[in-house]
Amino acid sequence: MTSKRKGRDFIARHGETVFNLARRMQGDHPHTPLTRAGFAQADAMGAALREILGPRPRLTLWSSSAGRALQTLAIIAEHLELDWHQAHRDDRLVEIGMGAWSGRYYADLMAEVPGFLDLEHGLYTRPPPGGEWYDGIAARVSSWLADTDDDPGDRLVIMHGMSSRVLRGVMTGLPVQPRFAAPVAPDLPQGSIVRIEHGVETVVHTGTGRGAAPA
């Protein structure tokens, strides 16, 4: 569906947060600050992108409206000598909605809901109560794609573990996984960046953060 999309998309997963470190569920929680490791991962992403794109590239900045994504973008934008204040914030790029699981410790959930996590795929096996499922993510990221397909130039998009996997799956034309009701790309560690051009994905920077769910 995105073969005629103009420009390239650099899609990045934010750095480690205090919730990641404490092993708590974040989901669409509006602000969970980066740790020192998270800031270091953002620094590494910025340096990698500057090496690829040079200073002040013609690049439209997009971010999930979550604080951790915006913090990551602030570090990257400084490396690229771009104005963070010009970034577009979009709720369609946020992480999966956790509903009643939001803020819960992983260990408590594992005790209460055995099997809620598919360890092989790093994805949940059921929707969180009052939360979101992967087809919902696919619908909202597809809406964002439709609105930006004709935008000129390249884009930098700062997102999250699960929502970025669905976006990447949609953009690269992966088949819908029946168990998850959406196309889902392979997991990458926090602090990673891919480039997608004409539906083809290339990993341009591999981060040092955690991979897989819970996220």
Give the residue numbers annotated as catalytic, written as ranges: 14, 95
Q: Which two tokens stand for residue 11?
A: 């899609």
Residue 202 dihedral angles phi and psi, to the nearest 5° = -130, 130
**Helix, coil or strand: residue 177:** strand
| Residue 158, strand partner residues | 12, 63
Q: Which two tokens stand for residue 188?
A: 């990458």
Burial classification of residue 70, based on how many CB atoms lie within 10 Å of its CB (0-12 exposed, 13-18 middle, 19 or more buried):
middle
| One-letter amino acid of 38 | G
Q: How far apart are CA 53 and CA 89, in angstroms?
A: 22
